[in-house]
Amino acid sequence: MEVRRVALDTGVHLAVADRDGQIPVVLLHAWGETHEIFSDLLPLLPSNLRLVVPDQRGVGDSDKPSSGYEFADAADDIRGLLDALGIDRAWLVGASSGGYLAQRVAVDHPDRIAGLLLVGAPRSLRGIGDPFGEALRGLGDPITVEKVDALVGDIPTVQPIPWETMQRSNVAATTIPAHVWRVTYQALLDATAPTDDGTIDAPTLIMWGADDALLPRSDADLLHRAIDGSEMTVYPDTGHLVLLERTQWVARDIADFLHRHS
């Protein structure tokens, strides 16, 4: 996929991988990740999908300003990206906190959203504690693979993830400056849950790991109830990193849901 920098009316340029197709689908990576996290998923998705995969503000080859990392800023960047690419409405695929961002976009800009596909995404991050705070306080530049692995390498998983997949993701994450790691993490913890702010009416599929040790199953059930008409599938023997642990299942269920609702 071609990667190019796209100028947004929010004042930043985002690096965006873009594959031609008829149905626009924007894939949103989680905190501490880049667009590379979707590398194993993209070839499995139907060829009629236009796949738009940005590096969010502060990440990869996107601009890294000193400020502008609030949750609403990230959502407005996605709206700005749709404007810049001439996309009226798109499906959003969000992995983990990328799915939290997808919900924020759906609440703030509902007319731009065709539907949501939420992969291990929280309903709320209020009250989960501070799982990465101690490690982040001592984090300094330059960011190395070893530092990335120390930060996110202990996220509990159930299914084995290929070493090449994790190494590719961790190398890409070295592009994230220390201050961006910290401010984007704090913005997520401080944010009001999108479904506490507004209603999501778009078709929504929730994909959840039955053995997620980072986010409680009760959060998935609350999210399912908060989005009227949403569907939920729970993958057995799967931890929090649903996208990486069950890539083929995620691709299958995305394709099926879009086929039924597009």
- For the chain, how many structural domains are there in total? 1
Tens-digit pLDDT profile for residues 148-178? 999 988 898 999 999 999 999 999 999 999 9
Output the pLDDT for position 142.
97
**Locus of tokens 């990740």:** 33
Tens-digit pLDDT profile for residues 235-253? 999 999 999 999 999 999 9
CA angle 83, 35, 47 (to 5 degrees): 75
Output the pLDDT for position 9.
98
Q: What is the Cα–Cα distance from 3 to 15, expressed in whole angstroms?
A: 6
Instruction: Give the confidence band of 185 by pLDDT, cuts at 50, 70, 90.
Output: very high
Asked if the model's pLDDT at residue 111 lies above 90, the reply is yes
What mean pLDDT do residues 66-82 have? 97
Output the pLDDT for position 105.
98
- Coil vs helix vs strand at 15: strand
Q: Burial level of 23, CB count in 10 A (0-12/13-18/19+)?
A: middle
- Domain holding 185, by residue range, is 3-261
Output the pLDDT for position 82.
98
Least confident of 77-81, 134-138, 228-232, 254-258: 134-138
CATH of the domain at 194: 3.40.50.1820
192: tokens are: 């009001």
Q: What is the Cα–Cα distance from 152 to 178, expressed in whole angstroms?
A: 14
Q: What is the Cα–Cα distance from 37 to 7, expressed in whole angstroms?
A: 23
Output the pLDDT for position 154.
81
Global pTM? 0.98
Q: What percent of the chain has pLDDT over 90?
A: 96
Asked if the model's pLDDT at residue 222 lies above 90, the reply is yes
Instruction: Give the confidence band of 129 by pLDDT, cuts at 50, 70, 90.
Output: confident
Asked if the model's pLDDT at residue 128 lies above 90, the reply is no
The H or E element that residue 260 is part of is helix 247-261
What mean pLDDT do residues 221-228 have? 98
46: tokens are: 């139907």
160 φ, ψ (degrees, to nearest 5): -65, 140
